[in-house]
Amino acid sequence: MTAPLHRPRPGTPDTQQGMRRRNLSRVMHAVAAEGPLSRASVAGHIGLTRAAVSTLVDELIRAGLLEELGPQRPGGVGRPGSALGVSGRGPAGLGAEVGVDHLAVCAVDLRGEVRTRAELRVGNRGRAPGPVLSDLAALVRQVAEEAAAEGLRPAGLAVAVPGLVARGTRTVVRAPNLDWHDTDVSALLPSEVPLRVDNEANFGALAELWLAADSPADFLHVSAEIGIGAALVVDGQLLRGTRGFAGELGHVPVRPEGPACPCGGRGCLEQYAGEEAVLRAAGVAPGADRVTLLAERAAAGDADTRRALRGAGTALGIALTGAVNLLDPRAVVLGGALSHLAPWLLPSLERELTRRTATPTDGVAVSRFGSDGPLLGAAHSVVRAVLDDPMGVAQAA
């Protein structure tokens, strides 16, 4: 549940033991990303000798993290080696999401497959954190039991929340759309496994990084829901900010004398492109499944809806111009519920971005995970922690 082990902290002396842990992790990552692989292929991937890899592999097989899949299919050079795969039993990652209108939990195995999932539609706005997290705990128990029936053992639980989480803690400092303040999730959500809590935009960006086939290692991920967040990935790592509050795209000033925002500012992006602002501009009353309704109206050619989405796209383009100038990401990815409205948001968004930036990026892509990104990213963050320190997890079990 810490930073990947292949990046030792500056100042930490190298040791044989640390080296061995990093090499075990490299074997797991290679097989997870490229497998099935023979021992020789693993050695080629990570630049160690076959003998060294064999010792590492034996240890990982004994711990139940890798398994022999039998002889590889012919076609390679030399005699066929036995293929190695990541185990589909053993450690699994539990991901959970606290949404404004729903709760969700899933279990993902070390191969990256979602093995079980449960969801509850429930209005959480203004509800106290205790009852919300009690409902979530019931869902977690249900999913853990279903996972156990398939031979899976939760290695950790990661919870995505629509708010700011203080870096290195499990405390939600501020979640305006839930009306939570300084909520210590770990106190209200008892967990038998290591618990991590993070902002939904961060987990959404990690899902994109880890799971999208063609994801670059540097991009800005926009998570547009009722609130608008963002997360910047640099060299395959999240830029979290000093306090963990980076990515507050929703409060970038778009028109500095514009409408007042609950954050204390004026004319913030959320005042133009957040779900409530878009509904208001389109003349649609708030409620459940409003994004679906907006998409239907826009597809049917409704002029008010289309104008509202054009305006939201323009505001997104102005705020993203600032972000692109400051951050120079390779790409901008639009995720979250509003990504389902991309056909009507993107034209005005891209027009602003193109005409305002002298050196534009590769353009704006739409996430294929939509509103599922945060939940998947949460579960996979636990899986990655196992791959980053496989024996640490095996020993803890």
Where on the chain is the footprint of a copy of itself (CB under 8 A)?
A: 4, 6-8, 10-14, 19, 22-23, 26, 46-48, 164, 173-174, 216, 218, 230, 232, 234, 236, 239-249, 251-256, 263-266, 318-319, 321-323, 325-330, 355-359, 361
Toward a copy of itself, which CB reaches closer, 48 or 148?
A: 48
Instruction: Quote the least distance from Cβ 49 to a copy of itself, whole Å.
Output: 10
Strands 152-161 and 195-199: parallel
Beta strands in 171-276 (DSSP E): 171-175, 180-184, 195-199, 219-224, 228-234, 237-239
Toward a copy of itself, which CB reaches closer, 22 or 111?
A: 22
Residue 201: in which H helix or E strand, if any?
helix 200-211
Which of 94, 144, 147, 97 minimizes the C-alpha distance to 121?
A: 97
Toward a copy of itself, which CB reaches closer, 115 or 380?
A: 380
Q: Please name the residue that has the structure tokens 């005005």.
A: 348
Toward a copy of itself, which CB reaches closer, 58 or 328?
A: 328
CA 148/CA 242 separation, integer angstroms:
38
Toward a copy of itself, which CB reaches closer, 64 or 265?
A: 265
Instruction: Quote the least distance from Cβ 3 to a copy of itself, whole Å.
Output: 10
Toward a copy of itself, which CB reaches closer, 68 or 328?
A: 328
Both structure tokens of 352:
């602003």
CA 143/CA 210 separation, integer angstroms:
23
Instruction: Quote the least distance from Cβ 131 to a copy of itself, whole Å.
Output: 26
Q: Please name the residue that has the structure tokens 């939600």.
A: 172
Instruction: Quote the least distance from Cβ 240 to a copy of itself, whole Å.
Output: 8
Instruction: Quote the least distance from Cβ 330 to a copy of itself, whole Å.
Output: 4
- φ, ψ at 231 (rounded to 5°): -145, 135
Both structure tokens of 164:
């700011």
Instruction: Quote the least distance from Cβ 144 to a copy of itself, whole Å.
Output: 32
